[in-house]
Amino acid sequence: MREHHRSTRLFGSLLLVAAAGLSSVAAVPSGQEAATTPAPTPLGQVIPAPASAVPGGSAYEINSKTRIRVDDSRDAQRIGGYLADVLRPSTGYALKVTDDEGRDGIRLRLSAKDKSLGDEGYRLESKRGSVTITARKAAGLFYGVQTLRQQLPAAAEKKTKQAGPWLVAGGTIEDKPRYEYRGAMLDVSRHFFSVDKVKRYIDQMSLYKVNKLHLHLSDDQGWRIAIDSWPKLAEYGGSTQVGGGKGGYYTKAQYKEIIEYASSRQLEVIPEIDMPGHTNAALASYAELNCNGVAPPLYTGTEVGFSSLCVKKDVTYDFVDDVIRELAAMTPGKYIHIGGDEAHSTSHEDYVAFMNKVQPVVAKYGKTAIGWHQLTGATPAKGALAQYWGYDATSAAEREQVANAAKNGTKLVLSPADRAYMDMKYNKDTPLGLAWAGYVEVQRSYDWDPGTYLTGAPADSIQGVEAPLWSETIWESKHIEYMAFPRLPGIAELGWSPASTHDWDKYKVRLAGQGPRWDAMGMDYYKSPQVPWPSK
């Protein structure tokens, strides 16, 4: 995973129109200079690409009289309030959220009748008098709102009043995801990120319909979550980070704050406690977790594979049970990630024994285990997910091991390091990141199909994709943004959009259109030369 020393129908001509940056020209009396009004973003020119986008009819314009009309459900009201909060600063309009019936304005509707949309799908219908977003569940309604945001001019994202106009192209989008699991991981262990920094990243990833936030909460360099039964884990084990900084950790109240904020953006938080390796912060905090009973010093370097819990000690499993119990009680989501990668200091026999004991603990507390793909070298529990991070240099035997586990029922999440790892450098001149899996430019991160990527793995074993961001060289929000954007939207599209829509030449045009939006949001992204960014 972090081996530092080893080496369709919805676009067509619409995309060409957008790439050329054409504007509509208003009719004016003879002899007067023509006034131009920017054309609305062509329907469906968003990321991720929708399953179906059928343009037609007049554009809808948000104006000072626009209301956001919601039904009487709490979810619709909450999402309506969220949309209003996004658009009020830039438009300067009141955008009252109301449950009054009406056929005009922005209409958000939850309807259990339309089962074709699934749990996360939505329908967006735009015409002269209204935009209507319909979904079966809150997630679909929220994702429809993200599509609406991207159909508006980029200036809609600004925090000060802008000129407009605020046009949404006419037509109908019907959309739902290809995969249920569409994740992004943030390593808060190598460097600690405050609650506000995590929230900022949540807001950015949610724009692209990412629905899982994997938090890497423990590693050799830091333990980042308070555990009441083992308080020194956070107080001492969380006191430093890579390079020797002061580190930090989340209190239980702060962790709850992150979970609630993520939930409001339809993101499920998946906490990871990496074990039996990557455990120096825990070993330094409690001597009894070491086979020799001696606590090592805290570690602030970037080597991997040197630490291990003492697999044969009973206290190790008391520790694991306490940590999983408290973490499960704090985490409303389905999953707990138990790591399992790079356990080079644990014998294969001990590794198998450890994983066979730990997976039932996760189930005991009502959660489903996820492990890095080395879990397939043990005995994955029924229902467990294996997260594949292999890359071109991964041996055929290791890939076959994962594929065979998938054939036997283990479900997979794909995070190939030379495609999906957001901490890989773009090129030799990238000031941040690592390069052990090679350089990963934007096209390479996008140009692969999760359904066929891992030879031998059944297509129905693939649960989705995840874009991890390891933080050895990263400690600020601007670093996150520079390494994740523009690559994260592409991984999100691979997880959401039908395979038939995947086309780099079309995608890069849509991606270029996100640049002004990120500028408006104050993001520091990498301006890849592979993308035809609009000139200012």
Question: Distance between CA atoms of 413 and 214, rounded to whole angstroms?
Answer: 12
Q: Beta strands 122-127 and 130-135: pairing type?
A: antiparallel
535 to 20, 42, 314, 519, 531: CA distances (angstroms): 11, 19, 63, 12, 12
Question: Distance between CA atoms of 402 and 82, rounded to whole angstroms?
Answer: 41
Question: Distance between CA atoms of 289 and 283, rounded to whole angstroms?
Answer: 6
Question: Distance between CA atoms of 137 and 319, rounded to whole angstroms?
Answer: 39
Find the distance separating the first CA and the last CA of the chain, reported in whole Å.
39
Q: Are 43 and 11 in contact (CB under 8 A)?
A: no
- For every residue of 398-424, which 3-state class applies, written as one string? HHHHHHHHHHCCCEEEECCHHHHCCCE
Q: Beta strands 23-25 and 36-38: pairing type?
A: antiparallel
3-class SS at 459? helix
- Report the half-sphere exposure of 216 (CA within 13 A, side-chain side): 31
- Report the half-sphere exposure of 427 (CA within 13 A, side-chain side): 9
DSSP code of residue 225: B
Q: Are 511 and 532 in contact (CB under 8 A)?
A: no
Q: Are 211 and 182 in contact (CB under 8 A)?
A: yes
Question: Distance between CA atoms of 220 and 311, rounded to whole angstroms?
Answer: 17
Question: Distance between CA atoms of 523 and 445, rounded to whole angstroms?
Answer: 20
Question: Distance between CA atoms of 339 and 93, rounded to whole angstroms?
Answer: 48
Q: Would you tell me how many other CB atoms lie within 10 Å of the CB of residue 381?
A: 18
Specify the length of the chain in residues: 536
For the annotated catalytic residues, the residue numbers are 342
435 to 48, 374, 391: CA distances (angstroms): 27, 22, 12
Task: Say which residue the tokens 């000690």 belong to.
Answer: 313
> What is the b/e burial string over 29-47, where b = at least 16 CB atoms within 10 angstroms of the residue's CB?
eeeeeeeeeebbbbbbbbb
- For every residue of 34-55, which 3-state class applies, written as one string? CCEEECCCCCCCCCCCCCEEEE
